[in-house]
Copies of this chain bind each other. A is one copy, B any other.
Amino acid sequence: MSNNERLVQLLASSHDFISGEKISEELGISRTAVWKQIKKLEALGYELEAVTKQGYRLLYTPQPIDAAKVEKGLKGHRFGHTIHYHKAVASTQPLAKELAEQGAAEGTVVLAEQQLQGKGRLGRIWHSPYGKGVWMSIVLRPATPIQLAPQLTLLTAVALAEAIRSITELNVGIKWPNDILHKGKKLCGILLESAAEEQRLKYVIAGIGIDVNLGENDYENELRNKATSLRIEKGAPVDREQLIEAFMMKWERLSDLYDQQGFEPIAQLWESYTISLGQRTLITTAQEQFYAVPLKLTERGSIVVKLDDGEEREIFSAEMGEVKQ
């Protein structure tokens, strides 16, 4: 057993603080070495409380994802049948893109415990600490023409909202086009990257980041008002394997529904979960900023908003301001 494992065992054996001195004695290592081991645990997703003169207390123990178990649960399904599992990667997105270029089947997943350079929208970094989130990218091969690609974004958001609701019972809402919020704070990021040849989508890589079991300390000050995790909102850890399975199944079911009946039923579900319609909000496009009331979703995945002067405008891509929930 490594020092690291012995330390975890020792800390887990008590709900009380264990002094650095005691750890040092039990493990037969120096106080400095203890401190280094503690830092190592934190980097692996463990959360510890450190109090002067009292020592360390274990607050949260991450459970690694058993990818083989998830694969087994999804056996025979189109989504998630094959999971490429990594401890740490720069980003799951380019790995999935490479697999797609090499011909990987629809539903192939790249999953990592940690992303060192997780990709958010517009080149932003998506903070993806070890062992606490669902950081994954999936290869999609939709028959959808490029004009309708945004419908896939909305479908993905519906699947994720439904999965989160079913596993956590949190009443999450969708902010246009595909943010999942709880009480105004963002829980997930969805990033669809498409490669098309003329009208035909060659493949789509859906990057999914779900802040499942992140703790308060995983959010920097300025983020605390904007972002949160399922664990923080629910007040208890959430099983990541169950969540992934539920998400894959919902997604596949909605995807089948979409193939059979088109966008209409998906749009209805999206509207039933959205918090974006009907409230005046600040809209920031690449060109300008203005207040408007989002009125309705269109078949193209755009949103029609009503400006203060009564003009209606179709918005394809924008940041929408704060919304109450």
Q: Identify A147's interface contact among B122, B143, B195, B302, CB under 8 A.
A: B302
CB pair B147 A198 closer than 8 Å: no
- Is there contact, CB below 8 Å, between B198 and A195? no
In the complex, the count of this chain's copies comes to: 2
Contacts of A192 in B (CB 8 A): 197-198
CA distance A317 to B202 in the complex (A): 13
Asked if B149 and A301 make an inter-chain contact with CB atoms under 8 angstroms apart, the answer reads: no
| In the complex, A300 has a CB within 8 A of chain B | yes
Determine the distance from Cα of A198 to Cα of B192 in the docked complex, in whole angstroms. 5
Task: List chain B residues, Cβ under 8 A from A153.
Answer: 198-199
Is A146's beta carbon under 8 Å from chain B?
A: yes
* Nearest residue, chain B, Cβ from A318: B199
- Chain A interfacial positions (CB closer than 8 Å to B): 121-122, 143, 145-150, 153, 177-178, 191-200, 286, 300-302, 316-317
Besides A121-B197, A147-B300, A147-B316, 10 more A-B contacts (Cβ < 8 Å) are A121-B198, A146-B149, A146-B194, A147-B147, A147-B149, A147-B301, A150-B199, A177-B199, A178-B198, A193-B195
List 23 interface pairs A-B (beta carbons < 8 Å), by A numbering: A143-B286, A145-B302, A145-B317, A146-B146, A146-B150, A146-B194, A147-B147, A147-B149, A147-B300, A147-B301, A148-B316, A149-B196, A153-B199, A177-B198, A177-B199, A191-B197, A192-B197, A193-B195, A193-B197, A194-B195, A199-B301, A200-B317, A300-B300
